Structure formats: C-alpha cells, structure tokens
Homo-oligomer: A and B are copies of this chain.
Amino acid sequence: MSAAILVRVQTADFDVGAELARLEALGGGGVASFTGVVRGGGGLEALELEHHPGITETMMARIAGEAAARWPLLGVTAIHRHGRLLPGQRIVLAAAASPHRAAALEATSFLIDWLKTRAPFWKKEHFADGTSRWVEARAEDDAAAARWEGGGARTGETAER
C-alpha cells in the first residue's frame, strides 16, 4: 500500500476539516487524527515554538514515512506550527487514513509520540507577569515514544465494512 504523505511546517493555522477531508477522499474506511492545542492556565500568555528550519521537514517526513512502513496506510498528514501561539490555538495535527481503523488510530498515536520526541521543536512559555520559561522534555514522552522502538505494528487484518 503506497501512502500519500503530507508534511508541513508553518506559522499559519491549519484547517483540520479540510486536512481530514483530503485523507477521507483516499478511499479508506477510516481517518484518525490528533490535534494538539495550546493549554491556558497558570498565567500563560503565549507559547513560542522554535524549530530547526534546515531539517524539520525532513525529519517529519521520515516519521510519517516510518508510520506508512509500519501500518497499511493510504495517507499520512503531519502539520506543525512554529512561532508565537496563544492559548486555545492549534499547534500540531497528526492524522492517518487506512482501510483498518486500528491501523489509522495506532499510526496517529505513533506519529504524535515521535513528533514530540524526534522532531526539532522547542517550546517556550511566556507568562502574563513578564517571565518566560523553556518547557522541559518529559520522561513520560520518551517512554511513550519508546513503546514504538520495536518496529512492530499491532494491526487488525480485516478491512472495515
């Protein structure tokens, strides 16, 4: 199965409905997605996302390609924003289309786990009191990403009806 891979790094917002419609149109039985949103609270005023412009898209494409190699996918989409984002705004979209719902959902989970640990983005929190702080990497994210180290996929065999 050859997957249509779409990867984008941008400052602009993205249209989740339009992105998922593109995946729905590939003819599979299902499309899974995860959208990350800036959480407010704690006096957070804005989140600043820095990235390594020279290699970000290459690494995101590699992660998407890895998902397509592990699961029977018709399409994979990974979009990540950078720059200054406000609470409630979208940060990232990971999505996958497949004839098998388990494959679509597991691939989406894999995509977001690896984007969090293998794509060169860094978050800085800016607070209303004028202070700011780099977000620290979390051991929990490394553990989530490590679940997929084995290289396997646990996909059902039968397509959706």
Contacts and interface: CB of A to CB of B under 8 A. Distances in A.
B39 A99 contact: yes
Interface of A is mostly: mixed
Give chain A's interface residue range (CB within 8 Å of chain B).
Answer: 35 or more
A6 B109 CA distance: 24
Copies in the complex: 2
Contacts of A101: 34, 36, 112
Contact of A88 (B17, B18, B24, B125): B24
Contact of A140 (B27, B29, B125, B157): B157
A59 interface: no
A35 B16 contact: no
Contacts of A37: 24, 28-31
